[in-house]
A and B are shown apart, each in its own frame.
Chain A
Amino acid sequence: MKFKHSLFTRRQFLNGLLGGWLGALLASLVYPIVKFVFPPYHEPEEIILPFSDYKDMPGNSVKNFPWGSKLGLLKKNDDGTYTAFVGVCTHLDCNVIYLPEQRKFFCACHDGWYDETGVNIGGPPPKPLRKLSVSIEGENLAVRRPGLEKE
């Protein structure tokens, strides 16, 4: 029975309280489950590689290295400097390959093309390849996320 001046009946109030608190309890149980199901992915901040493995690379060539669970591409340029990219196509995540004769990176999945500096020049990729910072430190080659260079 509902009084004219009431918003709801006593039964509705009790039902609302019961359902609401039960819902809150169940929701609080969902949060740990969601955390469990979506584990945090930590991209590496830096990768140290032995420089000896990459010292003798010819110019205009690319060698792979692991960047966490992704493909990393280390390119030795014509002038002897090194550039590092995350070798994952910015379109739909396929791994790309470097074609030295054409001086381009190619993604076989949907015919995506990037020039030798990683800029997207053809096909569906919307953005250039992600660059990583490279520095030679004694015997090591350090690859870091840009912005985290050591002084």
Chain B
Amino acid sequence: MRLIKFPGLSAVGILVFFFLSVCQPSICARQVVREETGAAQTEHEPEQIVPGPRDIKEKTAIYVFVGWVWLSVFVLIFFLKLKIRETDRLYQLKFFNSKRK
């Protein structure tokens, strides 16, 4: 896991950089400006369609879902680390080699 840390963080850093260059102020501001001018119009002819959850029920469902995904990810990583420890130890014991003998 140590092997992943530093270069992994720099890779995440690269991803964050591109992510910031994508959602930069000019686009986000543009969305906001368009939203304001489009706010008065009906759903069928907006200046720009900005998607997302439509009511509080959907918003809550979204937050619950994202929370569930992250919870699952952390739980699964915990289990996977145990499996990694198990298989690494088995490999070191040459558990699989002796089976073939």
Known: A11-B86, A14-B86. A25 touches B72 (CB 8 A): yes
Cβ-neighbour of A24 out of B72, B79, B83 (below 8 A): B72
Contact at A21–B72, with CB atoms within 8 Å? yes
Contact at A14–B69, with CB atoms within 8 Å? no
A21 to B79, CA, bound (A): 10
Write out the residue numbers on chain B whose beta carbons fall within 8 Å of the beta carbon of A25: 69, 72, 76
Size of interface on B: residues with Cβ below 8 Å to A: 11
Write out the residue numbers on chain B whose beta carbons fall within 8 Å of the beta carbon of A15: 83
Cβ-neighbour of A21 out of B65, B76, B82, B83 (below 8 A): B76
A11 to B90, CA, bound (A): 12
Write out the residue numbers on chain A whose beta carbons fall within 8 Å of the beta carbon of B65: 28
For window 46-90 of B, CB contacts with A under 8 Å fall at: 65, 68-69, 72, 75-76, 79-80, 82-83, 86
Known: A28-B65, A28-B68. A21 touches B75 (CB 8 A): yes
A28 to B69, CA, bound (A): 9
Residue of B nearest to A31 (CB): B65
Known: A11-B86, A28-B65. A18 touches B72 (CB 8 A): no
Contact at A14–B79, with CB atoms within 8 Å? yes
Write out the residue numbers on chain B whose beta carbons fall within 8 Å of the beta carbon of A99: none
A22 to B78, CA, bound (A): 12
A14 to B84, CA, bound (A): 11
Write out the residue numbers on chain B whose beta carbons fall within 8 Å of the beta carbon of A24: 72
A21 to B69, CA, bound (A): 11
Contact at B72–A14, with CB atoms within 8 Å? no
A119 to B79, CA, bound (A): 63
Contact at A18–B80, with CB atoms within 8 Å? yes
Asked whether A17 is an interface residue with its Cβ less than 8 Å from the other chain, the reply is yes
Task: Please give the residue numbers on chain B whose beta carbons come within 8 Å of chain A beta carbons, in ascending order.
Answer: 65, 68-69, 72, 75-76, 79-80, 82-83, 86
What 10 A-B pairs come out closest when comparing CB atoms?
A18-B79, A25-B72, A17-B79, A21-B76, A14-B82, A21-B75, A22-B76, A21-B72, A18-B83, A14-B83
